[in-house]
Amino acid sequence: MPSRRRAPDSPKRLLPEKADAVSVSIRMNDNLNGESAGSLLTEAVELLSAAGINEPRSEASLLLRELLRVSKAWLMAHPEAIVSPDQQRRYVSSVERRAAHEPAAYIIGHREFFGLDLEVGPSVLIPRPETEMLVELAIDACERLLPAKGRDLVAADLGTGSGAVAIALAVRRPAIRIVAVDASQAALEVAMRNAERHRVMRGIEFRIGDLLEGVDERLDLLVANLPYVPSDEVDRLMPEVGRYEPRAALDGGPDGTMLIQRAMEQARGMMEAPATLLFEIGEGQGMALSESARSLYPGADIRVIRDYTGLERVLSIDIDSD
Ligand code: GLN
């Protein structure tokens, strides 16, 4: 193990100068040949756990693997590998950002969703694993709708953000044309780069707008992961979310359901039966939203579907042609 002692005249404390800085420091080693991966990891784990970060070991390892561009297995097998001073400095800076509760996906700039690597940044919500269920249900809906239509489906994805839902759907279902809408130009730029990266630009049209206002197509399918956190809960979310993710992608008004309600109302009259609407929702919102759905779409098959953790997650509305 290289020595961690430093000459007193070369202070290299690398703590974030922030109010919530923690009292542990991760130190650069003076060894010009760099420090070993294993000892850097140990220091990073200490710093992250002192800062109250969940799963500090896997977070520290993710950030280091990203920088060294190595696999998990490689890193575990080579704790003695020497990290160059430049990589060390970059590692310390990303660990410090994580210690200040910035999400790892923003630090490394990407996140996997539905087996696809997606660019993410502070202008978009980080895609959640729970949202993969929305994509699965949309794929099932396509299977049901395609034979009935005998043509390419037309779908809208509202609040597309990073484009995660639209892109996953387009990758799996090429017989579909998707209009992906977001109110944020910065988000749409991220989404378009993601669509280009996964070669689905031709199947998706990105539009800036307020929900369905700029959409005049007749729709077979509507999918949406809109903001659904009640306004006064946004500030109480874990700092990773409340402090770093875009408020506009989280805040769903007083009870969280405002945008979903509006989208459901706007979509009435735009759906071409048979058709399906799928909304991601929050726990506890199923009852109120299915009541609205029942009055807006009488005769439709309305279901609240729970995710793998048992929480209400998707409101599904199937409209039949008769
Ligand atoms: N699932 C997100 C969260 O609470 C909320 C996403 C949303 O509002 N669409 O972390």
Q: Which amino acid is at 192?
A: M
Name the residue of 111, 113, 124, 125 to mutate for ligand 1: max ligand atoms within 8 A of Cβ: 125
* Residue 21, pLDDT score: 41
Q: Which atom of ligand 1 is nearest to the CA of 125?
A: 6
Q: For the chain, which residues make up each domain, given as ranges?
A: 1-100, 111-319
Q: Which amino acid is at 149?
A: K
Nearest protein CA to atom 4 of ligand 1, as residue? 229
Q: What is the pLDDT of residues 98-150, one digit of tens each?
A: 999 999 999 999 999 999 999 999 999 999 999 999 999 999 999 999 999 99
Confidence check: pLDDT of 200 > 90: yes
Name the residue of 162, 228, 260, 285 to mutate for ligand 1: max ligand atoms within 8 A of Cβ: 228
Confidence check: pLDDT of 72 > 70: yes
Q: How far is the CA of 235 from the centre of ligand 1 (A)?
A: 13
* Residue 322, pLDDT score: 66
Average pLDDT over residues 184-208: 98
* Residue 31, pLDDT score: 54
Q: What is the pLDDT of residues 210-227, one digit of tens each?
A: 999 999 999 999 999 999
Q: Rounded CA gap, 249 and 255, in Å?
A: 15
Nearest protein CA to atom 8 of ligand 1, as residue? 227
* CA atoms lying within 13 Å on the CB side of residue 165: 33
- Indicate the helix (H) or strand (E) that contains 179: strand 176-182
Average pLDDT over residues 274-293: 98
Tokens for 319, please give them. Answer: 């409209």
Dihedral-angle region of residue 149 (phi above 0 means left; psi in -120 to 50 means alpha; beta otherwise): alpha
Q: Which amino acid is at 274?
A: P
The whole-model pTM stands at 0.89
Helices (H), 28-181: 37-50, 56-68, 72-77, 85-99, 104-108, 132-149, 164-172
CATH class (in words) of the domain with range 1-100: mainly alpha
How many Å is the maximal CA-CA distance in the chain? 82
* Residue 227, pLDDT score: 98
Question: For residue 182, which of 152, 204, 202, 153 has the smallest C-alpha distance?
Answer: 204
Q: How far is the CA of 56 from the centre of ligand 1 (A)?
A: 23
Distance from the Cα of residue 245 to its chain's centroid:
9
Confidence check: pLDDT of 286 > 50: yes
Pocket lining for ligand 1, CB < 6 angstroms: 128, 225, 227-229, 241, 250, 280
Q: What is the pLDDT of residues 230-262, one digit of tens each?
A: 999 999 999 999 999 999 999 999 999 999 999
Q: What is the DSSP string of 74-113?
A: HHHH-TTPEEPHHHHHHHHHHHHHHHTT--HHHHHTEEEE
Q: How far is the CA of 45 from the centre of ligand 1 (A)?
A: 28
Average pLDDT over residues 69-78: 94
Dihedral-angle region of residue 141 (phi above 0 means left; psi in -120 to 50 means alpha; beta otherwise): alpha
Helices (H), the chain: 37-50, 56-68, 72-77, 85-99, 104-108, 132-149, 164-172, 185-197, 231-234, 239-242, 258-267, 286-296
* CATH superfamily placement of domain 111-319: Vaccinia Virus protein VP39 (3.40.50.150)
Calculate what percentage of the chain has a pLDDT beyond 70: 89
Q: Rounded CA gap, 17 and 135, in Å?
A: 41
Q: What is the pLDDT of residues 20-62, one digit of tens each?
A: 444 445 454 555 467 899 999 999 999 999 999 999 999 999 9
Nearest protein CA to atom 7 of ligand 1, as residue? 227
Average pLDDT over residues 286-302: 97
Distance from the Cα of residue 309 to its chain's centroid:
18
Q: What is the pLDDT of residues 153-184, one digit of tens each?
A: 999 999 999 999 999 999 998 899 999 999 99
Q: How far is the CA of 280 from the centre of ligand 1 (A)?
A: 9
Nearest protein CA to atom 5 of ligand 1, as residue? 250
* Residue 33, pLDDT score: 61
* Residue 177, pLDDT score: 97
Name the residue of 223, 229, 289 to mutate for ligand 1: max ligand atoms within 8 A of Cβ: 229
Confidence check: pLDDT of 5 > 90: no
